[in-house]
Amino acid sequence: MTIGALQALIFDVDGTLADTESVHLAAFNQAFGEIGMDWVWDEALYTELLMVSGGKERILHYWKQVNPEIRQIDAQGLQDRIGRIHELKTAAYENAVNSGQVSLRPGVLKLMDEALTAGLQLAIATTTSPVNIAALLRHAIGSDWRMNFSAIGDASTAPIKKPHPQVYLQMLDALQLSPNECLAFEDSNNGLRAAMAAALATIVTPNRFTAHHDFSGALKLVPDLSQVNLTQLRQWRMQN
Q: Give the active site residues.
A: 12, 14
3-state secondary structure of 156: coil
- Please say whether the dihedral angle defined by the alpha carbons of residues 90, 16, 122 and 95, taken in this order, is positive or negative: positive
Cα–Cα–Cα angle for 65, 66, 67, rounded to 5 degrees: 95
E strand or H helix that includes residue 153: strand 151-153
Q: String of b and e for 6-42 (b: at least 16 CB within 10 Å)?
A: bbbbbbbbbbbbbbbbbbbbbbbbbbbeeeeeebebe
Residue 79 — φ and ψ, nearest 5°? -65, -35
Burial class (CB in 10 A: 0-12, 13-18, 19+), 44: exposed
Burial class (CB in 10 A: 0-12, 13-18, 19+), 177: buried
| Sheet with strand 220-221: strands edge to edge | 151-153, 121-125, 8-11, 182-186, 201-204, 220-221
